[in-house]
Amino acid sequence: MNIGYCRISTDSQNDSLQLQALKDAGCEKIFSDVASGSKTDRVGLRECIEFARSGDVIVAWKLDRIGRSLKDLIETVNTLKEREIGLKIITQQLDTTTPSGMLFFYIMGALAEFEKSLIQERTAAGLKIARARGRLGGRPKALDKKQIAVAESLYADGKTSISQICKTLGISRATFYRNITLKAA
Which positions are catalytic? 9
Among 76, 97, 85, which residue's Cα sits nearest to residue 52? 85
DSSP bridge pairs for 59:
4, 88
Residues, the chain: 185
Phi, psi of 63 (to 5 degrees): -60, -35
* Alpha-carbon span 105 to 88, nearest angstrom: 10
Helix (H/G/I), strand (E/B), else coil: 150 = helix
Number of other residues whose CB lies within 10 A of the CB of residue 151: 23
Please list the helix, strand and coil fractions of the chain in percent, rounded to the nearest 5, in that order: 50, 10, 35
